[in-house]
């Protein structure tokens, strides 16, 4: 896996680099393809996850085409979105909530921002786990979602329960941190390695950027 600071830096740079472009080239797809190769052992699981996200992107591009009647713009939006989403998902695939904290901290961000990012991602993880547990409870009770008042009430109950449990856990965490003398900084030993994967990914990004400058200057 690529180290945290480089992962965050590449994710931000590549996203802006692709989003601000009016033309895309085959070389732009080398980075996500390389990341797919790095995660080749989990390719099936990643493909299913990406399929769900990119189906939404396809529908979005289709709506742009239907309302604007502009095929070129809708295809450009679809291509850019697929490249950005695929790269971002692959960069952060299999990472824990501490990964973002380590990346931001290594990049020199203020300690409070790093700590807030850690707690925010941790709360999102807990929310998703709590949501899955609640869904399993509903399945065990043979709940079948429909477009009626009863189903909407169940959805409201589900959202309320998950929100209440997360707020409860966050209050417990806040009091626990205060009792331990938390001052906005989490002590951790940050060791950032730089191996062949980092060199390969960084080289691809730089090559893509140099190619773009060469095309733009012609």
pLDDT of 94 reads 76
Report d(CA 199, CA 3) in Å as an integer. Answer: 11
Which of 5, 163, 167 shows the shortest CA–CA distance to 91?
A: 5
Let me know: does 9 contact 100? Beta carbons within 8 Å. no
pLDDT of 110 reads 72
pLDDT of 67 reads 81
pLDDT of 116 reads 73
Tokens representing 193?
Answer: 């390695």
Let me know: does 97 contact 122? Beta carbons within 8 Å. yes
SS3 198: helix
Judging by beta carbons within 10 Å of its beta carbon (0-12, 13-18, 19+), is residue 134 exposed, middle or buried? middle
Q: What H or E segment, with its residue span, contains residue 66?
A: helix 43-68
pLDDT of 91 reads 86
Chunked into runs of 10 residues, the chain (218 residues) has average pLDDT values of 80 87 86 87 84 83 80 85 88 76 73 72 74 76 73 76 75 71 59 75 88 81
Q: Indicate the pTM of the whole model.
A: 0.71
Number of Cα atoms under 13 Å in the Cβ half of residue 101 = 20
């Amino acid at each position: 896996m690529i180290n945290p600071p480089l992962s965050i830096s590449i994710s931000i740079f590549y996203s802006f680099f692709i989003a601000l472009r009016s033309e895309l080239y085959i070389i732009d797809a080398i980075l996500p393809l390389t990341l797919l190769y790095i995660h080749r052992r989990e390719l099936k699981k990643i493909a299913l996850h990406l399929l769900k996200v990119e189906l939404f992107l396809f529908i979005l591009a289709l709506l742009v085409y239907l309302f604007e009647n502009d095929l070129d713009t809708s295809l450009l939006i679809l291509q850019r979105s697929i490249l950005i989403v695929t790269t971002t998902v692959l960069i952060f695939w299999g990472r824990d909530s501490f990964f973002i904290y380590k990346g931001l901290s290594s990049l020199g961000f203020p300690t409070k921002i790093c700590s807030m990012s850690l707690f925010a991602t941790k709360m999102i993880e807990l929310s998703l786990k709590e949501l899955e547990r609640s869904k399993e409870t509903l399945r065990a009770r043979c709940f079948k979602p429909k477009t009626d008042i009863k189903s909407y009430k169940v959805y409201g109950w589900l959202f309320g329960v998950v929100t209440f449990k997360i707020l409860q856990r966050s209050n417990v965490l806040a009091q626990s941190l205060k009792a331990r003398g938390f001052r906005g900084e989490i002590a951790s030993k940050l060791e950032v390695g730089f191996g062949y994967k980092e060199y390969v990914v960084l080289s691809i990004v730089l090559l893509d950027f140099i190619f773009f400058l060469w095309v733009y200057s012609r």
